[in-house]
């Protein structure tokens, strides 16, 4: 399936390709955004430097960002260059490619649901056969959905992905702008799929700090400093401070905006540091704010449980000594 309305890329366009074969003349690739049509990166266009080992520059199966040099639509020849691509070009192309892949995933899911909505679930009347291509293959239905929905939205909003993001909050505005609005049942599947795939999911972020204060203020100073850190919370980024084992503490949050969460955690650390230093204590950052995996969270939970058990053992020993 091609992601864009035009069947071939334009000269000077950045495209994402996958390397299929390495030959004497260069590398044969498939254009991932254009229905896997074949192109070639000429040997002279692989690198600005002298090529000592082509395998170190390019490998079969790997995705590469390249720029289009020539397109012969009649013969089907597409010449590409890797050496003329800048790091900024790579970032720009990768972002567009990921957007296009997400749109393709959404559209393919909707196309796969067309038969079930038509027949299996007994809602034939909701989506007329002629609207969805009747008994056409899923690929044909997918292309029809692109023609009727994705590509028109791309012309209006710059990219169908941007239109879908807007549709999370303003679906009527987005889909009423189409030349031919989708049938209600198709629209229902599309809207629910967009909501499921594009609604930001909360991520866990954490920062680890060591906090000490050996002045008479001691524990009270540490509590005051941690409360100052938690005060940097807001509705979108709630921050919680927890003791792991003295002097190690963690600041954690769940948020949908990673950058906003990192910023808030950094502010919390600054507030804690300022407060504890006013009381004669100190703070050391052991791990800067970052998103953490489930495995890292489990490791932390085990560490806290171990510390809790050790504290309990110490308390028990003290009780026994007192009894003696």
At 103-146, the pLDDT tens digits run 999 999 999 886 543 334 433 334 444 444 444 578 888 999 99
Domains of the chain, with CATH numbers?
A: 14-85 (2.40.50.140), 90-198 (1.10.150.190), 203-313 (3.30.70.1130)
- Using CA atoms, how far residue 179 sits from 31, 157, 167, in Å, is 30, 14, 16
Euclidean distance between CA atoms 27 and 249, whole angstroms: 53
**pLDDT at position 51 over 60:** yes
Contact 251, 264 (CB under 8 A): no
E strand residue ranges, the chain: 14-22, 26-31, 37-42, 63-72, 77-81, 203-212, 240-245, 248-255, 282-291
**pLDDT at position 270 over 90:** yes
Q: Report which DSSP code applies to 210.
A: E
Residue 240, preceding bond cis, omega within 30 degrees? no
Q: Report which DSSP code applies to 45.
A: G
Euclidean distance between CA atoms 136 and 86, whole angstroms: 43
Q: Residue 257: exposed, middle, or buried by beta-carbon count in 10 A (0-12, 13-18, 19+)?
A: middle
Euclidean distance between CA atoms 266 and 251, whole angstroms: 10
| pLDDT for the residue 116 | 40
Query: Token pair for residue 50?
Result: 């002298």
Biggest alpha carbon distance in the chain?
Answer: 97
Euclidean distance between CA atoms 9 and 42, whole angstroms: 17
| pLDDT for the residue 318 | 45
| pLDDT for the residue 147 | 94
How many other C-beta atoms can be found within 10 angstroms of the C-beta atom of residue 266? Answer: 16
**With helix as H, strand as E and coil as C, how does 103-158 read?**
HHHHHHHHHHHHHHHHHHCCCCCCCCHHHHCCCCCHHHHHHHHHHHHHHHHHHHHC
pTM score, two decimals? 0.62
Contact 98, 47 (CB under 8 A): no
Which of 130-144, 192-206, 259-273 shows the lowest mean pLDDT across its residues? 130-144
**Burial state string for 19-45 with b = 16 or more CB within 10 A and e = fewer than 16:** bbebeeebbbbebbbbeebebbbebeb
Give the mean model confidence (pLDDT) for residues 3-18: 95
Give the mean model confidence (pLDDT) for residues 214-243: 94
- pLDDT bucket at 205, cuts 50 / 70 / 90: very high
Give the mean pLDDT of the chain. 86
Euclidean distance between CA atoms 279 and 193, whole angstroms: 53
Query: Token pair for residue 275?
Result: 């407060």
Q: What angle do CA 86, 90, 91 make, to 5 degrees?
A: 120
Contact 198, 165 (CB under 8 A): yes
């Amino acid at each position: 399936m091609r992601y864009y309305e035009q069947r071939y890329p334009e000269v000077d366009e950045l495209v994402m390709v996958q390397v299929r074969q390495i030959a004497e003349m260069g590398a044969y690739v498939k254009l991932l955004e254009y229905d896997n049509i074949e192109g070639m990166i000429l040997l002279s266009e692989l690198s600005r430097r002298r090529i000592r080992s082509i395998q170190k520059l390019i490998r079969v199966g790997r995705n590469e960002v390249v720029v289009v040099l020539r397109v012969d639509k009649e013969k089907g020849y597409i010449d590409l260059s890797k050496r003329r691509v800048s790091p900024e070009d790579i970032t720009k192309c990768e972002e567009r490619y990921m957007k296009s892949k997400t749109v393709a995933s959404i559209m393919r899911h909707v196309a796969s649901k067309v038969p079930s909505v038509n027949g299996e679930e007994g809602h034939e009347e909701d989506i007329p056969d002629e609207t969805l291509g009747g008994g056409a293959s899923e690929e044909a239905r997918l292309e029809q959905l692109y023609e009727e929905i994705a590509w028109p939205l791309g012309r209006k909003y710059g990219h169908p992905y941007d239109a879908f993001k807007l549709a999370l909050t303003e679906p009527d505005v987005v889909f009423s702008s189409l030349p031919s609005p989708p049938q209600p049942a198709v629209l229902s599947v599309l809207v629910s799929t967009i909501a499921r795939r594009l609604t930001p999911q909360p991520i866990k972020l954490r920062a680890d700090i060591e906090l000490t204060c050996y002045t008479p203020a001691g524990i009270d100073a540490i509590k005051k400093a941690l409360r100052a850190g938690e005060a940097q919370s807001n509705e979108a980024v709630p921050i919680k401070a927890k003791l792991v084992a003295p002097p190690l503490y963690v600041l954690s949050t769940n948020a949908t905006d990673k950058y906003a969460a990192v910023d808030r955690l950094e502010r919390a650390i600054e507030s804690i540091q300022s407060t504890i230093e006013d009381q004669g204590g100190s703070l050391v950052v052991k791990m800067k704010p970052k998103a953490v995996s489930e495995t890292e969270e489990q490791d932390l939970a085990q560490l806290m449980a171990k510390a809790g058990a050790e504290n309990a053992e110490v308390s028990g020993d003290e009780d026994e000594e007192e009894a003696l």
